[in-house]
Amino acid sequence: MSGPAPPVVLVAPSGTGKTTLAQRLVADSPDYVFSVSVTTRRPRPGEVDGVDYHFLDQPKFREMVEAGDLAEWAEVHGRLYGTPRADLEGASARGEHAVLDIDVQGARQIGQAVPEAKLIFVLPPDVDTLVARLIGRGTEDPANVARRMHSALQELQAVDEFAYVVVNDDLEGCLDAIRGIVAGNGEGIGPEAASRRARMLDEAIDRVLRDRYSEHTNTSDRSTDESLHA
């Protein structure tokens, strides 16, 4: 690929499979590279500076914010996360699509900072698949599953803001749809279908919360989980 390449931003409720999609895009083609975020949190065991994250102290992070060096940033549970603008510009100049796996808030900021970015919302095929993926992780207690589902309800409200929406009902098919959008010869499922699917998911998630997780629905946790910020 030659010439500037726009970043690819994948947004989806937790459990939709967007991290797997991002990993496959990068693994399958040299035209896609991961965007490495900056963060003020401490490295976890096995994490490598510059590979998993760029680990900074708060003063340095704030300097980047003040200088306009971050295309997007957010505070998550007292820690700061952001996407360096220079990394996006460098990848684009090399003809590489920087892949970002972030939340709705971050995507909005990227859309303003990098208008040419491809913002793609990924929907799960149905609520049963969403719940099965969350439970299937084996690390999610009921309260955490309920919290993530509440977050999904909030994120689904933003579907209409996205020009491109795909459904991850088949991994290979979804990857093909994303690649088509990036190449300029695909449009996703269209706004009417996207809105209809989002409404159906919203209603189904609400039912599941009432029927299976009623004891965990007494809070509307609006915080962003750090796993949503790549």
Residue at 84 is within a domain? no
Ordered strands of the 97-101 beta sheet = 32-34, 97-101, 8-11, 118-123, 164-167
H helices of the chain, in order, are: 18-28, 58-67, 85-93, 104-113, 127-136, 142-156, 171-183, 191-212
Residue at 25 is within a domain? yes
Residue at 223 is within a domain? no
Residue at 201 is within a domain? yes
User: Would you state the structure tokens that stand for residue 86, as one six-digit string?
Assistant: 């220079």
Cβ neighbours, 10 Å, residue 68: 9
Q: What is the pLDDT of residue 109?
A: 97
Q: What is the pLDDT of residue 61?
A: 98
CATH number for position 24: 3.40.50.300
Cβ neighbours, 10 Å, residue 104: 23
Cβ neighbours, 10 Å, residue 222: 8
Report whether 19 contacts 101 (CB < 8 A): yes
DSSP reduced 3-state for 85: helix
Report whether 41 contacts 52 (CB < 8 A): no
Q: What is the pLDDT of residue 222?
A: 36
Q: What is the pLDDT of residue 99?
A: 98
Residue at 188 is within a domain? yes
Q: What is the identity of the amino acid at 93?
A: A
Q: What is the pLDDT of residue 175?
A: 98
Q: What is the pLDDT of residues 12-21, one digit of tens each?
A: 998 899 999 9
Q: What is the pLDDT of residue 159?
A: 96
**Distance in angstroms (rounded) separating the CA atoms of residues 143 and 180:** 38
**Distance in angstroms (rounded) separating the CA atoms of residues 46 and 22:** 21
CA nearest 173: which of 136, 194, 181? 181
Residue at 101 is within a domain? yes
Domain span at 178: 8-35+97-218
Residue at 62 is within a domain? no
CA nearest 122: which of 94, 141, 101, 142? 101
Q: What is the pLDDT of residue 118?
A: 97
**Distance in angstroms (rounded) separating the CA atoms of residues 148 and 16:** 11
Q: What is the DSSP string of 160-223?
A: GG-SEEEE-SSHHHHHHHHHHHHHTS--TT-HHHHHHHHHHHHHHHHHHHHHH-GGG-S----P
Q: What is the pLDDT along the chain (230 residues), one digit of tens a residue?
A: 557 899 999 999 988 999 999 999 999 999 999 999 999 999 999 999 999 999 999 999 999 999 999 999 999 878 999 999 999 999 999 999 999 999 999 999 999 999 999 999 999 999 889 888 877 765 567 888 888 889 899 999 999 999 999 999 999 999 999 999 999 999 999 999 999 999 999 999 999 998 888 876 654 443 344 444 54
How many domains does the chain contain in total? 1
